[in-house]
């Protein structure tokens, strides 16, 4: 089943990540999101949760690389 338009969903994830990691270049975020999504999609049997899995994996990569996470207001 999956989502109808993954490109729109991925752009939303880039927006969300840009708010949480404002010090990371937007092009770098887009590259990481797209590459991670493509990697996960290659191995997926069902793609219903690929976008959320992509966000989680990219967030983990950024944290592990030492990037500062800026907490969103609703997270406080």
> How does pLDDT run across 15-56, given as a tens digit for each residue?
999 999 999 999 999 999 999 999 999 988 888 889 999 999
User: Which residue is listed with tokens 């270049």?
Assistant: 25
Instruction: Give the CATH fold of the 6-65 domain.
Output: Helicase, Ruva Protein; domain 3 (1.10.8)
Q: Which two tokens stand for residue 57?
A: 């994996």
Band (pLDDT 50/70/90 cuts) for residue 2 is low
pLDDT band at 71 (very low <50, low <70, confident <90, very high): confident
pLDDT at 58: 96
Long-range interactions of 4-10: CB distance < 8 A, separation 24+: 6/37, 6/50, 6/51, 9/51, 10/34, 10/37, 10/51, 10/54
């Amino acid at each position: 089943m999956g989502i109808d338009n993954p490109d729109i969903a991925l752009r939303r994830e880039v927006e969300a990540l840009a708010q949480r990691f404002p010090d990371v270049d937007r092009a770098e975020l887009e590259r990481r999101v797209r590459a991670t999504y493509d990697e996960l999609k290659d191995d997926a049997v069902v793609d219903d949760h690929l976008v959320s899995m992509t966000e989680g994996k990219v967030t983990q990569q950024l944290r592990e690389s030492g990037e500062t996470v800026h907490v969103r207001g609703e997270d406080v």
